[in-house]
Amino acid sequence: MTPKFFIIDDHRDYRSLLAHHLTTNWPDAEITSYDPVASGRLPDSFSGAGCDLVLLGDPAGQGNALEWLRQFCSSPQFPPVIFFGNGDEQQIVEAIKAGAENYISKPGLDHNQLIEIVGQALDVRRKEFTSGQQFVIEGQSGQPVLPSLKGYKLQRCLSSGSISTVYLTEEQVTGEKRALKIMHRLHDSDEIALDRFLQEFELVGKIQHENVVRIYDLGVADDHAYIAMEYCSRGSLKRRILAGVEPAGATRFMQQIADALGSIHATGILHRDLKPTNVMFRQDDSLAVIDFGLAKQVHLHAELTGTGQIFGTPYYMSPEQGHGEQVDIRSDIYSLGVIYFEMLTGKKPYDGDTAMAVIVQHQSAPIPRLPPEVAQFQSVIDRMMAKRPADRFPTVADLLDWVPAA
């Protein structure tokens, strides 16, 4: 399971410190940082959807974070909240009474204690996903089983989001491991989400490429739509980046991703959510592009996603996608350029305390410079990450013609 953390604290350095502790233990973790001073109070409608754990620091927005905590814990099915305060005994009692999963004193922050407490909270979250509150039920043995999905034996949860959850399963007939992506229980209001989910299978099913994930099955059972795909056991590109990627390896990975995108684009598909966690490695260490939940046929009408609606991950969004404008092949090339820069440097080209801050930088900030040891790739980065789509490579074939030898 790839944990998703949401960090709220007035101080950027403290948010960065917590993120460092978390990624040390969970390299694939997805972390969102929120600055309450700059962005203000989260709305009452904030449900924590898509998060596994919220880390809430006091003060929040230069006010009492206990008020935020009470708001969060009054929301049904809100994820566990760990409260970070001044260590005052009365505050500890109030935080626990308000519903905090646990309390950590800021002055006495200890890495081992933090990891232990966060691990326990994640266990609570996992149990929620396997207790029948979502879409997994318990069999007679008390072990979680998939809801009437014959032929698959559940092993563990790999990741979870607001729309779907991915499980590692075993196909009972063949004994092969499969990643089973299951959409949360369907309601009448979920038609758009279901269309997008089923579209993922229909689009990827057209593609036969060694660097695109293989899809094996699609079905609907007990109001749950599901997709069975190959299981990539050696983790994501994000983990490789955290460990450090040599320039030759970065270029090789970029070329493989680009080649996969070329096959995807040739079918009339845009990925629209290209990021390191959507690039996985198989047991034989071959690379596979995954997760087309946001993919869209180039000529598909806008009603499926909604005009002006932003999808994707801000760190890797093209300027036009971040502002809800029309996107094409060159938007995926921009996202690949961001990933290539991160592989070469170990850093994202743009960072910020809020999603909008990052989106604005993608549109207006200068393209960052590579360090001298990899400066020979700057011309490629400049073309891939050009602000105007017209200034980018028009296709991945053109991109690959430009790539210098690593």
Alpha-carbon distance of 247 to 340, in angstroms, equals 10
Beta-bridge partners for 145: 137
**Half-sphere exposure of residue 64: CA atoms within 13 angstroms, side-chain side:** 8
Long-range contacts of 382-388 (CB under 8 A, 24+ apart): 383/337, 384/333, 384/334, 384/336, 384/337, 384/340, 385/334, 385/337, 385/338, 385/341, 385/349, 386/334, 387/319, 387/363
Cα 374 to Cα 219, 336, 377, 380, 401: the distances in Å are: 47, 17, 6, 11, 19
d(CA 52, CA 186): 21
In one-letter notation, the amino acid at residue 27 is: P
Give the DSSP letter string of 240-307.
HHHH---HHHHHHHHHHHHHHHHHHHHTTEE-----GGGEEE-TTS-EEE---TT-EETTS-GGGT-T
What's the CA gap between 180 and 346, in Å, rounded? 31
As a whole number of angstroms, the distance between CA 192 and CA 356 comes to 25
Whether 9 sits among the annotated catalytic residues: the reply is: no
Which is the catalytic residue, given 58, 273, 291, 332?
A: 273
- Residue 112 vs residues 108, 117, 169: alpha-carbon distances, Å: 12, 9, 32
Enumerate the active-site residues: 273
